[in-house]
Amino acid sequence: MSVTRRKLLTSTLAAGAAALAGRKALAQPSIATPPATLPPPRAGKSARKLVVPNGSILPWTQKNGAKVYHLRAEPVKHTIAPGLDITAWGYNGSSPGPVIEAIEGDRVRIYVTNKLPEATSVHWHGIFVPHGMDGVSGLTQAPIEPGKTFKYEFVFDRAGTFMYHPHLDEMTQIALGMMGVIVVHPRGAERGRVRDYVLMSHEMKIPIGSARPDPMAMNDFNVLTFNGKSFPATEPLVAEVGDLVRIRLANLGPMDHHPIHLHGHAFEVVATDGGPIAPSARVPETTVLVPVGTTRTIEFTARAPGDWAMHCHMTHHAMNQMGHDTANLVGADTRGLDNKLGRVVPGYMTMGAGGMAEMSTMQMPQPKNSISMVGGKGPHGVIDMGGMFTILKIRDKLKGDGDPGWYDAPKNTTANEATDADLARDGIEI
């Protein structure tokens, strides 16, 4: 087929016009008013059921075509777990702050009142907003001075799991507990039964006996939390066999990434705060790394009844107020030491020479306002875990959405001490 000069010129101009049009389309702001084809949001009620263990969802009202929310940045009294009460900074009386829940296409107005002793701002982490709404103090807006109230207004143009946090003196304000999760649902109802959970990870350094986190800490964090709570205060997640379970994991701790491991199930990471992950790019996992400043949304089908642990796999992150400035006594011969030191410190008892499990199982008296090495009661004794540890309780049938209690395993399906007959049968020599 011959190509004439006219045909070549025509095709070149057409290609150039198409490329220019595409470039202009990409250059258009991604934030606009909701498309006219989207139905209006339902006032006061979400299309989905979101569960925030140990947390809450921020109330809203419908005013003049927008959902209106009110955040109050303020000092809060907060209980990490029974025995450890702190003064933190948070939003609306809690740390982390309440989850902001909306629907894709919603226009929102979020008022932020500053009740802190210093200025603040709010950044909408992962949300595509107009430049002036991005919340970076000094760059995109003036600081919100103490006693002042600022208004943010924008459209949630895409579904996903995002976060909010200060962008002024982040080192102090985030370290003291100022952060929260944003969940934007897609339009329409879910198919089937979905258990949709939110878990925000955080870490603090709280010296034994202290009631305030240390914002200067860069390591040696000793209080690790899900939604502001350390085990045994973490509320369990529940599901029935066959349910689709979605867990929205977020991390706004100061420094550490968290490999979150789930027992008994494999899952897929279906989304980050950058957007959904194509099904063809997903792989089965039992542990997901949640870096600082990100969200990871996992999904799986509840396959087996039981009480399944879920925790950070950094071992010191699943302990409570672990002290690290002590001598390593594991394997040391401490015979006679107790008597000698007991003359100076009455009642002294050396611990740790044979491991540290006894520190949890003995449940020794604690210094005031501390939970060092505290674990929780389980169906078979002490669960010597703490910190970033929680439990997914799956049952064949649930009575409501509350804690169903401990799982009663079928007979002869629980590990126990081997009998002499067992050992002889299988040729095990001890």
Amino acid 359: pLDDT: 65
Let me know if 277 is exposed, middle or buried by CB neighbors in 10 A (0-12, 13-18, 19+).
middle
- CA 167 remoteness from chain centre: 19
pLDDT in tens, 198-255: 999 999 999 988 999 999 998 888 899 999 999 999 999 999 999 999 999 999 999 9
Q: Say whether pLDDT at 121 is over 80.
A: yes
Please give the model's pTM, rounded to 2 decimal places.
0.85
Measured between alpha carbons, how far is residue 317 from residues 193, 214, 371 in Å?
32, 17, 14
Q: Please state, in angstroms and rounded to a whole number, the distance separating the CA atoms of residues 202 and 200.
A: 7
Closest CA to 76 of 93, 64, 51: 93
Amino acid 62: pLDDT: 96
Q: Please state, in angstroms and rounded to a whole number, the distance separating the CA atoms of residues 197 and 425.
A: 46
Domain 50-315: give its CATH architecture. Sandwich (2.60)
Q: Please state, in angstroms and rounded to a whole number, the distance separating the CA atoms of residues 178 and 409.
A: 41
Q: Please state, in angstroms and rounded to a whole number, the distance separating the CA atoms of residues 220 and 205.
A: 7
**Which range has the worst mean pLDDT, 21-25, 98-102, 187-191, 299-303?**
21-25
Q: Please state, in angstroms and rounded to a whole number, the distance separating the CA atoms of residues 411 and 413.
A: 6
Cβ distance 141 to 16 under 8 Å?
A: no
